Structures are given as structure tokens and as C-alpha cells.
Structure 1
Amino acid sequence: MNLRTRHSLHAIAHLILAGVSAWAADPIAKAGNGMPIMPPTDTTTAVVKEGDKTIQIPEGMVYVPAGSFTFGQGEMRELPGYAIARFEVTNAEYKAFLEATGHRGTPRHWKGGMHPEGKAAHPVLFVSLVDAEAYCAWISKETGRKIRVPTAEEWEKAARGPKAFLYPWGNDKDSRFSNGRLQTHFNYNAVCAAYMLDKEVKTVTWYVEKSQEAGKQGRVEDIMTGNGQVFSITSDGGVNGWIDHNTNTGFVNTQIYRDLVENGGFTTAVGTYESGRSAYGCYDMAGNVYEWTSSVIVATNGAERGKEVNDVRGGSWYSTGRSGQSLCTGEGRNRNGGYHSVGFRIAMTP
């Protein structure tokens, strides 16, 4: 046995002793921060310590230790330790699930069974909670792990961290807009608005049929709501003229917006916003896409107001900055529906 062979075998043995598979699969995508996204059924593990216990979790997850945490408006609750995904489930991962199982829940904006070009690392959209549960069941069967959709409690603890922040990074939205430049920790509607105002100012806009402005044309920066609010961004990163539900006017009621949704919305690759990472190491728990939880609430916002639905958390590319808070914001969705701003991440009982 030559020296190179001995070194190779020693390296493999070291990985095995460390609890990491020596024969890891190839990544199927790359996150916005450059981290590899592995196939959903990859069995590579990482070792974490909790007291005198050694716990193995999937490489793509973080561990949230057992203990009490602040839930909602100051209520103290207790949870055992659990693992939760570092990133939202991506198009590439969901595509692997569809190909392996033949599951019929293909997102409606995919063409020919394929996600939009260049969006392999973007979070999957238009998947119901039923689809998400099927995805978890498939991984569980293939790996022997107890993979599931997180509860609202698990989601919130992972997002708020040990200091119970209102956002993963702190207690303030902390966004700024000046001289046409937006500074933010997460992908919410101001990111889309800033891009449209900067890149699409010469585009002719047709208003959709249900709007009181149907048939009219205009530049993006001239879009208005029924109350005269012009499409713009405020200094603290708020968005004016996004939508007026009473008159069906504003940016959301233009053809540009409709075309955007048909291509999967204004999502970003998971892990793009490094400064938005939670204390436990989770990315995009504010913005990008709302995330399904297994917990049921009576919604207090949106079209689902007053209905018993599943809690969705974290805001999205479509929603306001306040919606990115880590608390329950009263948003919920029907578990059987697929939505343009809702995706999911997975959790696991070690």
C-alpha cells in the first residue's frame, strides 16, 4: 500500500468516525451564498452535541436545542430538541421528488415538468401542504428519518433564536431606500418594486380586466391606486401603490405582475441574504416565500380571514416588510391549495 492510498483511507475513516458519509452525492444546485444543495435523500450527516448526548442530523439541517422559548407576544413554551432545514425546499429538490415518485403535484408555473430556467435554487412555489407532506413521506421512506413539516412553534423558535427577536436578525425591519438603492436583510415586496422601477420604467403596462383601470396603459412609475397613491418606495423600505383592494388598482393589478407570477414570482435563490440568517443558522425565514406549518389557526388576514386554515410563516417576495416578522401574522392557507407566495421547509425529530 503506497502513501497516497494510506492517506485516502485515513481520510475516509476520519469522515466515518465524524458521522459524515464518505460517499456523499453530488450537489443538485448551489444556494445564493455558494453552499451546495444536496439531493433530498442524501444521507450525509453532521454531528452536534447537546450536553452529554451526540446527535446526528442531516447535513442540510441545523439543530435547535431543547428548552423554553418565547412564543408570540411573550408566552413561554417548551420544546424538545429538533432539526430544521437550513434552506427552504428548492425547485431542484422538488423536481427530484417528482421524478422519483411520479407525484402529480407539479407546480402550475412549471412548463413541461420543468421549473423556470435559472431557478433551480429558488424555493418551490404552488405546492399545497398535502404536496409538502408527500415530499416529507418520500424522504422518510428513503432514508429512515422522521422528516415532516414543522409546527408553528418549531418554525418560530428557529426563526427568533434564543433572544426572541421579532425578525431573525433583530427587532426591526431595518430596511433603507435612498438614491434608487434598497438595503435590506430579506426579499419582500420592496425588492420587486425597486427592480421594476429601475429596470422596467419604459415598459407599457396593461391593467387586468377586473381593475377599474382596465384597458389603460402607462409606464411603471406612473402606476397608481384608486386613492391616488403612486407606485414608489419610501425611505424606510415601504411600498406605496402596490395594491388597492377596493378598486383593483396598483402594481399587483397590472399585466407585468401577472406575467411575473406565471414565471414563479420575484423569488431569489435560497441563502442569498446572509445578513437575514437566524441565530440558529436558518436562511430566508423572513421573505422569499411564506412557509407551510402543520399548525392550524383561524386566519385574521387576507382572503382566508375567519377561516380555519394552516398557519403560514415568514412573509414572501409578494408581501410587506411587516409580514416578514417571525410571529404569527394571522396569515393562513387551505392545506389543499397551491399559492404563488407559499413554499415550505422540512423538519426532523432526531
Structure 2
Amino acid sequence: MKALLFSVLLVLAGTRLLAADPLKPVAKAANGNDIPHPASTQTTPVTDGGKTIAVPDGMVYVPAGEFTAGTGNSAKKVNLDGYCIGKFSVTNAEYKAFLDDTGTRGTPSYWHGGTYPEGKANHPVAYVSLAKAKEYAAWVGKKTGWKVAIPTADQWEKAARGPKGFLYPWGNSSDVVYADGKLTSKFNFNGVTVAKYLKDEPKKAVTYNNNKSKYFGIKTTVDQIAGYDNSGRATTLSIGANGSVRGWVSHGTYTGFIYTDLFTSLGETGGNTTPVGSYEAGKSGYGCYDMAGNLWNWCDSTIVATNGAEKGKTVNEIRGGSWYAVSNSCRSTSIGEGRAASGAYNTVGFRIVMIPAAN
């Protein structure tokens, strides 16, 4: 009932404030929404608990209150003040606006000539460290006068799970189906990449390119890519009915899809990301897109990682999975994944939060 009331108030209060704003949008999302200039001060009012909240364009409002973070034995009740969070992850175009305005050096590694790859203005920016993401948030705050930050893990999770506390932004299962060579999905994960190449370019020539591997330099085709175990047994690239991918990676022998020149070429343009707003059915109950897949989001919360190469290390948590991740890693609760705050990664981006002053 509370969630329904909030939705009604959001619609009724959705009249745009009329303050002039000379800053033009930097791009359009896949769903046709403008991606505002990050220094824009345009807002839309919503009502929460009798208070009027000025929500920045490009953000959604998550109302104050308690929610359940985590599941099972790790579940806990968390009470949060209301906050605004990015509808989308920060895009290449938004990040370029920051770099251009500040003169900050050091563009993401897949950019060339000071700018992002052609056609990727509305894709989420990757290869940005948490430290740089915080610089971006501070810049937005300075330009707008708002209190802007990187979300905590709890803020991120509440926005992703929505008013009903789903395990994925849209429900409690991944809802992925692969049949007759067609993948149906509400988010961008590694199955999307594999399905695309198996359907469109199965005979594309590829080469295993990790020089630590005994398979280094061996050529094959996409439909024959395999992950080899130490005995030489091959697991050929394929997709299960629920979107599970086989032949994606075998770290022991440096084989599988990610150890090919095809994967390297994807990384050189920022990875197989999709434009923000591409998955309408995948948005959360609060209206956030790509909180499953596409790129992980940095969180301003530290954990001792229980998953991945960082296992056992104190790192900053990342949430939501990516185009590289398996579908189960893209759920809204923590899977114990994190990265060093100083590092920049081909699968990690970020979004921002704003703590509003209520009137």
C-alpha cells in the first residue's frame, strides 16, 4: 500500500520546476530519455511524508524507511533516510563533460584522442576507479550545490530491489530463457555476448592469445572456442536453457572466450556494454535501469571479499554484475564481490546519489 501511495504521489507531483537551465542534455538513453548534463540543476518535485523533494533530472527518489538488506542468515533490517540515485549509470558522455570542465587528465583506457569510442556516448563509462568516481561526484556537487556522493551498498541495494524487496530488480528469478538460438533476457550479462556471436558470427576466426597458455596462438572459430582443463578435456562454448554459459573461461589453462583476441577487441572499446536504458523490463521498482548487468557499480562501502580474485582482501564492494558476469552474479543482493578502490576495471562503472534537502 505504501509503495502504491508513493507511486501515485510521484505521478501527481511530477510537474517540472520552471527554472531556466542553459545546459543541454549530453545524450539520449536507449529508451529515448534525455541524459541531462551532469551539472544541470533542473529538478522535478515529488512528495514523501508531507515533504516536497526536488529530484534532479536523471535521478529517481527512494523514500525514507526500513528495508531488508541481504537474504537468509545475512539478512538485516536497515533504516535509510530518503535519497535520490542515478536512473542510469554515469555514461561516457557525462564523464567527458566532467573531464572537459575540470581539465582532469587521464581518460579511461579504451578512449582515444581524448574521447570515447564512436557511438558510445550513451554507454556506461568503464575503467574509472572509485577515487575518480568520487572526484566526479564532488564536481557535480560543486556545480549544483547539492550533496552528491557514491552510494553505500545499502543505498544501492534498496534502490535495486525496489519497494517489494526483489532479488533482481524485476522479481525473484533471473527470467532468462535460451531456446532455438535466441536469448530472452531483461539484462546484459555474459550470455548476451555469447548468444550474439554464436548466432551472428559462429565461424568468425579467433585466436587464443594469452602467452601463459600452451594453447597460445592456436586459431579456431567462435563456435569451437573451448575452455580446457589441465588434462586437455574441452568444454565448448555454449548456452544452457537458463542462460548459463559454458566455455567462457578456464583460468587454469588460460582458455575459453575471455582468453581470445575477440574478447580483447571487445575490451578495447569498453566491453560489450549496451546503451543505458536498453532493458525496459529490467528496471527496478523505483525506476533505476541496469542495476543488473551491463557494468558493476562501485559502492562506498568496504567488505572482505568472499568471491573472485580478491577473496579474503578488504576491498570496496561492487554490485549488480556486468556484461562479463554470469546471470546469478547480477542479482541485487551482495555476492561478496569487490575491487581495490584505486583500480580501474573493464567491468566496473558507477552511479551517484544525492541527499536532498526537504521542504
TM-score (norm 2): 0.91
Deviations 1:85-111 (A, max 9, x none): 100000000000000001123101100
Q: What is the match of residue 249 of structure 2? A: 243
CA distance in structure 1 between the partners assigned to 2:299 and 2:21 by the alignment: 33
Q: What is the match of residue 198 of structure 2? A: 197
Code of the residue aligned with 1:33 in structure 2: it is N
Code of the residue aligned with 2:286 in structure 1: it is Y
Structure 1, gaps ≥5 residues long: 1-14
CA distance in structure 1 between the partners assigned to 2:183 and 2:344 by the alignment: 30
Deviations 1:199-220 (A, max 9, x none): 2222211111222311211111
Q: What is the match of residue 342 of structure 2? A: 336
Which of 311, 317, 322 aligns to 2:323? It is: 317
Q: What is the match of residue 50 of structure 1? A: 48
Q: What is the match of residue 111 of structure 1? A: 112
8 Å CA contact 1:69–1:157 kept in 2: the answer is yes
RMSD: 1.3
CA distance in structure 2 between the partners assigned to 1:51 and 1:113 by the alignment: 46
**Matching of residue 146 in structure 1 with residue 147 in structure 2:** yes
SS of 2:134's equivalent in the other structure is: helix
Code of the residue aligned with 1:145 in structure 2: it is W
| Structure 1 residues 58 and 24: alpha-carbon distance in aligned structure 2, compared to 1, 3 A threshold | farther
8 Å CA contact 1:105–1:131 kept in 2: the answer is no
Code of the residue aligned with 1:70 in structure 2: it is T
Q: What is the match of residue 298 of structure 1? A: 304
Structure 2, gaps ≥5 residues long: 1-12
Q: 1:21: how far off?
A: 2.5
Q: Within 5 Å, which residues of 2 pair with 1:128-147?
A: 128-147=129-148
8 Å CA contact 1:41–1:142 kept in 2: the answer is yes
TM-score (norm 1): 0.93
Which of 206, 210, 213 aligns to 2:212? It is: 210
Q: What is the match of residue 176 of structure 1? A: 177
CA distance in structure 2 between the partners assigned to 1:34 and 1:212 by the alignment: 48
Moved more, 175-184 or 221-230: 221-230
Q: 1:113: how far off?
A: 0.8
Code of the residue aligned with 2:253 in structure 1: it is T
SS of 1:205's equivalent in the other structure is: strand
CA distance in structure 2 between the partners assigned to 1:67 and 1:95 by the alignment: 35
Q: What is the match of residue 222 of structure 2? A: 220
Seq. identity, %:
52
Q: 1:125: how far off?
A: 0.3
Which of 268, 271, 279 aligns to 1:273? It is: 279
Deviations 1:273-332 (A, max 9, x none): 000000000000000000001000011111111110000000000000011100111110
8 Å CA contact 2:21–2:41 kept in 1: the answer is no
Would you identify which runs of 4 or more consecutive aligned residues in structure 1 move more than 4 Å?
none
Q: What is the match of residue 11 of structure 1? A: none
Deviations 1:1-26 (A, max 9, x none): xxxxxxxxxxxxxx9x9534344532
Which of 340, 345, 348 aligns to 2:351? It is: 345
8 Å CA contact 1:278–1:285 kept in 2: the answer is yes
Code of the residue aligned with 1:87 in structure 2: it is F
| Structure 1 residues 124 and 25: alpha-carbon distance in aligned structure 2, compared to 1, 3 A threshold | same
Aligned residues: 335
Code of the residue aligned with 2:220 in structure 1: it is G
**Matching of residue 63 in structure 1 with residue 61 in structure 2:** yes
CA distance in structure 2 between the partners assigned to 1:163 and 1:75 by the alignment: 15
CA distance in structure 2 between the partners assigned to 1:65 and 1:271 by the alignment: 22
Code of the residue aligned with 2:114 in structure 1: it is G
CA distance in structure 2 between the partners assigned to 1:137 and 1:26 by the alignment: 21
**Matching of residue 258 in structure 1 with residue 260 in structure 2:** no
Code of the residue aligned with 2:219 in structure 1: it is Q
8 Å CA contact 2:21–2:40 kept in 1: the answer is no
SS of 2:164's equivalent in the other structure is: coil
CA distance in structure 2 between the partners assigned to 1:127 and 1:181 by the alignment: 33
Q: 1:225: how far off?
A: 1.1
